[in-house]
Chains A and B, each alone.
Chain A
Amino acid sequence: AAGVIQSPRHLIKEKRETATLKCYPIPRHDTVYWYQQGPGQDPQFLISFYEKMQSDKGSIPDRFSAQQFSDYHSELNMSSLELGDSALYFCASIQHSTGELFFGEGSRLTVL
């Protein structure tokens, strides 16, 4: 069965650089979530999209932005990267009516 696809899987950036993470949800899933997970931490909700519109916002820094496109894939854009942005970034998708959330394998961002 198709799963949530994230790219890149690993990314290394310098401080103050920008990074873009991509997420391709499970087909026919209409909602996408972004989570950030630091070492030894539980996933922290960043932002979500439902039918290409932002539906909820969590602890996402102003330096970050995200959008969902017409094909339902989503991109998380991070600018002015800081050392503390180093984390695993997970995308998850959900079929709105069932409420079951499936995660991708994550993108590991390392800021040097």
Chain B
Amino acid sequence: EDQVTQSPEALRLQEGESSSLNCSYTVSGLRGLFWYRQDPGKGPEFLFTLYSAGEEKEKERLKATLTKKESFLHITAPKPEDSATYLCAVHGYYGGATNKLIFGTGTLLAVQP
């Protein structure tokens, strides 16, 4: 069964303290791995899509990497405005037009000034 596990569940950082979030996955065939940021009461905001092992993408203080079993979201010198829940989701090959994403439970990041 396809599964996505994120760790840690919650992370508290001081402003400027770099760290990484982990997303481990098992999927029958990976079509893509997505990272989203979600603020309370709002819809997930798209950050990155990674398609193959070894791929990396960067956006401001965030960098996402992908291996065959997991993905990391590296946060460099975070600021308080980076505080949010970060969701990882995988999109597998299910045949036909099926495109559902399977989400992890997220990592709640709090960055203190």
Contacts and interface: CB of A to CB of B under 8 A. Distances in A.
Q: Do A and B interact with each other, yes or no?
A: yes
Interface in A34-82: 41-45, 48, 50-51, 53, 55-56, 58
Given A42-B104, A88-B41, A48 B46 contact: no
B96 interface: yes
Nearest to B106: A42
B100 interface: yes
Contacts of A90: 43-44
B32 A99 contact: yes
Interface string A95-106: 010011111111
Interface string B48-74: 010000000000000000000000000
Q: Which of B36, B42, B44, B46 has the most CB of A within 10 A?
A: B44
A6 B43 CA distance: 10
B43 A45 contact: no
A94 B99 contact: yes
Nearest to A98: B49
A86 interface: no
Nearest to B96: A55
Majority secondary structure, A binding face: strand
A6 B87 CA distance: 21
Contacts of B97: 31, 50-51, 53, 55-56, 96
A13 to B, nearest CB: 18
A99 B44 contact: no
B87 to A, nearest CB: 7
B42 A99 contact: no
Given A51-B97, A53-B97, A102-B46, 11 more contacts: A33-B101, A42-B103, A45-B100, A56-B94, A56-B97, A58-B100, A99-B99, A100-B46, A101-B99, A103-B36, A106-B43
Interface of A: 4, 6, 31, 33, 41-45, 48, 50-51, 53, 55-56, 58, 88, 90, 92, 94, 96, 99-106, 108
Interface of B: 31-32, 34, 36, 41-46, 49, 87, 89, 91, 94, 96-106
